[in-house]
Amino acid sequence: MRDIVEDLKLHNTTLVAITAQVPEHSASMRKKHGLAFAMLHDPRNDYAAQLGLRFAFSDELKKVYDGFKVDLAEVNGDPSWTLPIPARLVVDQSGIVRVADIDPDYTTRPEPQKTLDDVKALR
């Protein structure tokens, strides 16, 4: 997505990511990957829950994360063991969601060009 930020600006569009990660962890990710768009913190995944996009980890999945030495409670600043379902929303200027790509498989994401095409289609 970072590669289309400037193209989106040409269409009067702002890219924003919403993450459960505390800002300190997001800052290191932004720096590492050269991300030049806003990243908002969603404490306890409350906004994701309002959208129906929050899920709780099963005990089996917790064990997998423990095996990878991922301390989700530290990264997210929240001991609830919840995450948002990955989603990409295109929202128009009046706040209406016009396109939603949602997939519980975090490895399946729309190509950046699809996002750009979806924005162009709003005109």
Which CATH number fits the domain that encloses residue 87? 3.40.30.10
pLDDT of residue 9: 94
pLDDT of residue 51: 95
Q: What is the pLDDT of residues 44-82, one digit of tens each?
A: 999 999 999 999 999 998 899 889 988 888 999 999 999
What is the SS3 assignment for 15? coil
Q: What is the pLDDT of residues 2-44, one digit of tens each?
A: 899 999 999 999 999 999 999 988 998 899 999 989 999 999 9
pLDDT of residue 92: 92
Domain range for 60 is 2-121
pTM: 0.84
The overall average pLDDT reported for the chain is: 92
Q: For residues 69 and 120, which has the higher predicted lDDT (pLDDT)?
A: 120
Q: Is the pLDDT of residue 100 over 90?
A: yes
pLDDT of residue 25: 87
CB under 8 A, 24+ apart: contacts of 45-52: 45/20, 45/76, 45/78, 45/80, 45/82, 45/83, 45/84, 47/18, 48/18, 48/20, 48/83, 48/84, 48/85, 49/82, 51/87
Distance CA 51, CA 66 (A): 28
* Total structural domains within the chain: 1
pLDDT of residue 65: 86
